[in-house]
Structure 1
Amino acid sequence: MEWKNIYRGIIMGASDVVPGVSGGTIAVLLGIYDQLIAAINGFISKDWKKQLGFLIPLGIGIVTAVLLLSHLLEWLFEHYPAPTQFLFLGLILGVLPYLFQKADAKNKFKPKHLVLLIIGAIVVGSMIFLNAGESGVIESKTMSTYVLLFFSGFIASSAMVLPGISGSFMLLIIGVYQTVMTGISSFQLDVIAVTGVGIVIGIVVMSKVVNFFLNNYYTGTFAIIIGMVIGSIFVVFPGWPASNALILLSVGTFALGLAIAYLLGRVEYKS
């Protein structure tokens, strides 16, 4: 068992709760993105037992973070939204040097890869023009509600697998973010189960797609991934706070995010 995957899972799970931040981006920062995609694909093959040592600790960390940190992150976003987003903005910017390093961009990037990078950035960055469809918590659950939650989980988890695209942000756009987060924090089994099934299926499907492109078009795929991460900066950036105190706090959390990314990168990418 790779028990250090528990702390990796906690960081990934915490990021997945935050609208605009991608767990896939954090997986890249932690140096496990390729391995994660391969493990998910291997889990649905005859060699599935070999993947348990990687996936079980990671899953424990992710579930722990989602269950325990959802209240904290809800509170932070309610009372300190800008400083919280600046923390994750620092993490995202901090991951970029390691992404370029992993892709060996200095030696392998050609003009076509720069084009792919720009396309990835535009696709994700354009999400700032999408309006969130959030309309509060859905109190009365019907069959159509559960169908919506299932497909929301499917779409969100597909996005989670891709660095730069936030699953939580997709839930906001669809209009079920508060419903799902409330369901998790108050342990509503029906919401958790239906959304969870959609999430699992979405992760499996999208990981197969990503795995194919990583195996066959590695450099081009990473060029798009880097572009997506760059594009997510525009999605996460909340604008400058109104008060000087919040500006200073936001600068501090941004610096903290950069420092965390640097330290994690040094640990995870050491040769």
Structure 2
Amino acid sequence: MEWKNLYRGFLMGISDLIPGVSGGTIAFILGIYDRLLISISGFFSREWKKHIGFLLPLGIGMGATIILFSKVISYLLKHYHEPTQYFFLGLIVGVIPFVSKQAGLRKSFKFHHIILMLVVAAGLASTIFIKPADPSLITHLTGKTAVILFFSGWAGSMAMLLPGVSGSFVLLLLGVYTTVITAISDFNIPIILVTGVGIAVGFVVSSKLIRMLLTHFHTGMFAVILGLIIGSIFVIFPGIPESGTPFVMSVVAIITGLIIANILNGVGEK
């Protein structure tokens, strides 16, 4: 068992609770993105035993974090929204040099790769103008709500694996983010199970698809990934903080995020 994945799962779980922050980005920072895709798709094959040691500690770390910190994140976003967003903004900005190096930006990128990266970044950034669906709270399952939650979980999990695309943000756009966070906080098992099954199916499908694209269109896929990461900066940017304490807290938060990203990038390279 790779028990060091507990802390990796902790970091990915925290990020997946924040609309606009991607667990895939954190996996890239930690240097485990390729291994994550391979393990998820391989777990649902005859060679599943090879991947359980990697995935189980990671899943425990993510699951425990989501359960234990959902209320904490909700509190921070409610009472310290700007500093919290600026902290994750620092993490995301800090990962760009690392991903650029992984992508071979200077050596491999052609003009059309740069254009693709900019188009993807602009496309994701434009989602800030999309009004989220009506966030009506679902507390009891019906046939209709079960289908909605299943496919929302599927869509959210596919986004979680793409660096720069937040699963939480997708759930927010679909109008079920409040439902899912409340269900986790209140241990609403039926809603958690239905959404969880959708997430599991989405992980399997998207991990195989992303691996295939990285294998056959490596540079182009990295252009997309970099574009998504850059675009996510605009998605989570909370605006200029007010002068005084909020401004100071936000500056400290973004610097802290940059420092932590730099430390984790070093860990990922090793």
Q: TM-score range by the shorter chain?
A: over 0.9
Counterparts of 1:144-155 in structure 2 under 5 Å? 144-155=144-155
Between the aligned partners of 1:134 and 1:4, the Cα distance in structure 2 is 40
Between the aligned partners of 1:20 and 1:38, the Cα distance in structure 2 is 25
Please tell me the residue identity of whatever aligns with 2:161: V
Q: Which residue of 1 aligns with 2:29?
A: 29
Between the aligned partners of 1:111 and 1:135, the Cα distance in structure 2 is 41
1:140-187, Cα deviation, whole Å (9 max, x unpaired): 542211111111101111111111111101111111111110100111
* Pairs aligned (count): 270
- List 4+ stretches of structure 1 deviating above 6 A: none
Residue 217 in 1 paired to residue 217 in 2? yes
Between the aligned partners of 2:54 and 2:60, the Cα distance in structure 1 is 11
1:207-241, Cα deviation, whole Å (9 max, x unpaired): 11101011111111111101110000000101122
- 3-state DSSP class of the match of 1:132? coil
Q: Which residue of 1 aligns with 2:130?
A: 130
1:171-207, Cα deviation, whole Å (9 max, x unpaired): 1111111111010011110011000000000111111
**Unaligned regions of 5+ residues in structure 1, if any?**
none
Q: Which residue of 2 aligns with 1:39?
A: 39
RMSD: 1.2
Residues 134, 172 of structure 1: 8 Å contact kept: no
TM-score by length of 2: 0.97
Between the aligned partners of 2:211 and 2:197, the Cα distance in structure 1 is 21
Please tell me the residue identity of whatever aligns with 2:64: T
Q: 1:151/1:260 Cα in 2 relative to 1: closer, same or farther (>3 Å)?
A: same
Please tell me the residue identity of whatever aligns with 2:225: I
Q: Which residue of 2 aligns with 1:100?
A: 100
> How big is the shift at 1:114?
0.9
Residues 24, 160 of structure 1: 8 Å contact kept: yes
Please tell me the residue identity of whatever aligns with 1:4: K
Please tell me the residue identity of whatever aligns with 2:148: L
Q: Which residue of 2 aligns with 1:55?
A: 55
- Range with bigger deviation, 56-65 or 85-94: 56-65
1:119-151, Cα deviation, whole Å (9 max, x unpaired): 221221111111122434224542211111111
Residues 134, 177 of structure 1: 8 Å contact kept: no
Q: Which residue of 2 aligns with 1:7?
A: 7
Residue 165 in 1 paired to residue 165 in 2? yes
Q: Which residue of 2 aligns with 1:70?
A: 70
Please tell me the residue identity of whatever aligns with 1:118: L
Between the aligned partners of 1:22 and 1:138, the Cα distance in structure 2 is 24
TM-score by length of 1: 0.96
